[in-house]
Amino acid sequence: MRRRPKQLTEAPQVFASGSGPPVVVELDGGRGDGADGATGGQGVLVTAQTARRRDLTELLEDRPADPEVAVMAARIARRLAIRRRPREVRRERGGGGLASVPYRYRSDDIDLDRTIEVLTERPFPEDTDIVVRERMGSRRAVVLVVDVSGSMRGEKVRIAAATVAALAADLSGAGDQLAVVAFWSDAALLKPLTTPSSTSALLDQLLRIPARGLTDVGFGLQVARTELVRDAARHRTAVLLSDAVHNAGPDPRLVARRFPELHVLLETDGEHDAPLGRDIARLGKGRCLPVASHRDVAPALNRILAG
């Protein structure tokens, strides 16, 4: 029997360095934008709140970096390269072509037709539900959303190392950006899109997050989406690395469908919820691929990102 996720009465917390945009947590389970006939974890909440923001230093345990993990990440980065088809490079006038994107406090050229379509499904709209026209560059922005609930040990560490290392290596081109969000019942923005960081530093932070029990997949995705919609890249993608065992908070399908592109790397080395993982990817216009070990990561990333 499928467990019902714990109902939350307070908004989760976001741990991050510096200042950033507020993360609005959708706690209303009755908005009507879930998937018909969906299967997997579901939760019902009653309101909407702004997530409390706390400094990242309040979260991370004070312990030295694990040198073995750093060596392993470097080895994985050398071995696991994403084989991407050569992209057609076009020089576009005016700094890029026009595209309809969620409002990011830059453009006031509203795409009225697209905005009306969105608002018909959003009885309580946010600023980012307004669709505007912006000139977009050809660079890529990817947000990796890592499930760190439970204990980051064994194969789970190796899978995380492989994913961070492979994406960091692939997004090393001029203008390409990578952000990393770790989540459990709360979430931490370890690396914003515009902040540089090494693979070893990111893995060190992941391993210094104390072990947690509950998993709010929807909140992790909401933090990732808040970061992603601020960027003006033409190719904006999120990759969720999780077993999709959602046991706290509202149904993550509610936010999954609001991504421009969302893929799922489904960890299958233990308990996992494949139906929910597939639903999240389908609603996010992406793919759901299983990863049972770190050796599965690069082939999976090849399939979901090389195109």
pLDDT bucket at 139, cuts 50 / 70 / 90:
confident
Phi, psi of 118 (to 5 degrees): -70, -45
Beta strands 52-55 and 13-16 are parallel
Which sequence spans correspond to the domains of the chain? 53-87+138-305, 99-134
pLDDT digits (tens, 9 = 90+) for 33-64: 444 333 344 333 345 678 889 999 999 988 77
Distance between CA atoms of 305 and 121, rounded to whole angstroms? 29
Architecture of domain 53-87+138-305: 3-Layer(aba) Sandwich (3.40)
Write down the pLDDT at residue 197: 87
Distance between CA atoms of 243 and 264, rounded to whole angstroms? 9
Q: Is 118 strand, coil or helix?
A: helix
Q: Is 301 strand, coil or helix?
A: helix
Distances (CA, A) of 161 to 166, 204, 266: 8, 10, 15
Write down the pLDDT at residue 79: 64
Answer yes or no: is pLDDT of 85 > 50. Answer: no
Write down the pLDDT at residue 40: 40
Predicted model pTM: 0.76
**Residue entry with tokens 């499928």:** 2
pLDDT digits (tens, 9 = 90+) for 178-220: 999 999 999 999 999 988 888 888 888 888 888 877 899 999 9
Residue of higher predicted confidence among 194 and 5:
194
Q: What is the DSSP string of 168-208?
A: HHHT-STT-EEEEEEESSSEEEEE-TTS---HHHHHHHHHT
pLDDT mean across residues, the chain: 78
* Amino acid found at 285: K
